[in-house]
Amino acid sequence: MEIGGLEQELLIEETKALLGQLTDPARRGPYEALLDGLQAGDVPETTLEPLATLLEMGLQTGRLKRRYTAEGEQALLRIYHKTPRGAAVVKSTNETNRALEALAGQVVQSIAFSARSPGVYGLTLETDQGHFSLRIQREGVWLDNVEIDM
């Protein structure tokens, strides 16, 4: 993955900051390889997982927005969506949105969130035509169950 400009600059800074915190050579290795790729402007496929992890940590904690403002955060979010992990989140969200288009025109009778387990949430929608359950977690959003009233 080619990375240049603002994204490259910010990711080099973030990777160096993380490397400053890691002392275990085994844990440092993937991030050192990532840093080499970032400095060359071309992140190898073998370092896309460490890149996704680095970006997830910064995005979830709000660190990237605090350090680089909303503009920097959005630039790095676009990079995250290009990683396999980020692309999977986008794909699951898009698929769920397409499935939910079937609800257009239905009357929502109730809507509720539930905590299923740490980091996993449910969203239940009751309409005049059926019952719909979604699962929401870090890895994406999925339509779990659909019951149509006949």
| Residue given tokens 């680095």 in the structure block | 54
pLDDT tens digits for range 95-112: 888 888 888 899 999 999
Higher pLDDT, 145 or 5: 5
Domain locations in the chain?
5-82, 105-148
Give me the pLDDT at residue 100, please: 85
Give yes or no for residue 146 having a pLDDT over 90: no
pLDDT, averaged across the chain: 92
pTM: 0.81
pLDDT tens digits for range 37-76: 999 999 999 999 999 999 999 999 999 999 999 999 999 9
Alpha-carbon separation of residue 45 from 2, 83, 106 (angstroms): 10, 9, 44
| Residue given tokens 């905590």 in the structure block | 115
150 pLDDT tier (thresholds 50, 70, 90) = low
Give CA 85 to chain center in angstroms.
Answer: 7
Contact present, 30 and 39 (Cβ < 8 Å):
no
Contact present, 106 and 128 (Cβ < 8 Å):
yes
